[in-house]
């Protein structure tokens, strides 16, 4: 397949990038790590007149943390940089779980967390854990800046609420509560190289053996990555007995809206996402009790 011709532009600031997008709103593609964009170009998914690269905007490469605002992941922070960051490893091991499940090491060296979200595929590896954490995306445009809760970000398969002149500049993950743990689980073929057939993430806050609060994210089992609110609501105030975990898994399966495709059928995906949800909750709770995550 022939790659179409296009201009490649490298602005040096967010303001310059937004201004370039405003010049030709329908003719641009934003280029971050490029791992998905180049595949789509080669496959003919779209033919932009130009790529606007964010690679030379220094501020977008930042990763930072504060106890007040939480974890900041710049739009150009690669998946491997996030996975290897000591602060992320200490406070958000579930984010590390998700990052290390994404493709192979060579891809993670180039792919960005923000790019993984902005492609908005139902199986996006980083989406379930960030949905469970209730992350926020910082977005810039020629008209200014705004913040979009990730639970409102996905509008359909490969679709988001971003306008044609908007770019994500950072992802902000709230600081973990005391006695909180997180975890991410996925099922695929060859785990390091395939898209997940189903995935589940959990963030739980424990009070001894009782779950005080919980949030669940699901992937690859609906038209978009999914915040399974009914599961979190069910878990709040309950001891995490095997029976409760089974019911949580059943609720996750019920919330799922999977499709049949070449990789798996609907019934299999529903069954698997229930198992993954139970597993993610158990791991997150264990981490909360141990003080890890």
- Residues 64-108 have pLDDT tens digits of 999 999 999 999 999 999 999 999 999 999 999 999 999 888 889
Section 18-33 average pLDDT: 91
**What SS3 state is found at 168?**
strand
Distances (CA, A) of 51 to 13, 33, 215: 15, 12, 37
CB atoms within 10 A of CB 10: 15
The length of the chain is 293
Q: What is the pLDDT of residues 220-237, one digit of tens each?
A: 999 999 999 999 999 999
Q: What are the structural domain ranges in the chain? A: 7-53, 58-173, 181-288
**What SS3 state is found at 261?**
coil
Give the torsion sign (CA, 179, 232, 190, 36).
negative
CATH topology of domain 7-53: 3.30.43
Global pTM? Answer: 0.94
CATH topology of domain 181-288: Enolase-like; domain 1 (3.30.390)
- The stretches of the chain forming alpha helices (DSSP H) are 14-23, 35-43, 79-84, 86-91, 93-100, 105-108, 113-118, 127-133, 229-235, 242-255, 266-290
- Say which CATH architecture domain 58-173 belongs to: 2-Layer Sandwich (3.30)
Of the listed ranges 34-43, 130-139, 283-292, the least confidently predicted one is 34-43
**What SS3 state is found at 239?**
strand
Give the pLDDT score at 33: 85
∠ CA 136-177-108, rounded to 5°: 50
């Amino acid at each position: 397949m022939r790659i179409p011709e296009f201009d490649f532009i490298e602005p040096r600031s967010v303001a310059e990038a937004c201004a370039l997008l405003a010049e030709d709103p329908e003719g641009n593609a934003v280029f971050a790590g490029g791992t998905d964009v180049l595949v789509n170009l080669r496959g003919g998914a779209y033919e932009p007149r130009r790529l606007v690269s964010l690679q030379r905007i220094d501020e977008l490469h930042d990763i930072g943390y504060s106890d007040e605002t939480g974890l900041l992941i710049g739009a150009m922070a690669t998946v491997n940089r996030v996975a290897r960051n000591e602060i992320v490893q200490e406070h958000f091991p579930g984010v590390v779980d998700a990052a290390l499940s994404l493709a192979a090491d060579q891809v993670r060296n180039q792919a960005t967390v923000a790019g993984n979200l902005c492609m908005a595929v139902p199986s996006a590896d980083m989406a379930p854990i960030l949905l469970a954490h209730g992350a926020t995306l910082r977005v810039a445009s020629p008209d200014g800046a705004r913040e979009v809760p990730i639970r409102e970000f996905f509008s359909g398969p490969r679709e988001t609420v971003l306008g044609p002149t908007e770019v994500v500049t950072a992802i902000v993950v709230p600081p973990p509560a005391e006695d909180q743990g997180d975890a991410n689980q996925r099922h695929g073929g060859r785990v390091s190289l395939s898209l997940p057939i189903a995935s589940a993430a959990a963030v739980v806050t424990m009070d001894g053996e009782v779950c005080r609060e919980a949030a669940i994210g699901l992937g690859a089992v609906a038209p978009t990555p999914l915040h399974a609110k009914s599961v979190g609501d069910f878990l709040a105030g309950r001891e995490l007995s095997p029976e409760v975990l089974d019911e949580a898994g059943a609720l996750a399966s019920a919330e799922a809206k999977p499709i049949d495709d070449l990789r798996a059928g609907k019934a299999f995906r529903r069954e698997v996402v229930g198992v993954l949800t139970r597993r993610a909750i158990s791991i997150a709770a264990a981490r909360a009790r141990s003080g890890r995550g």
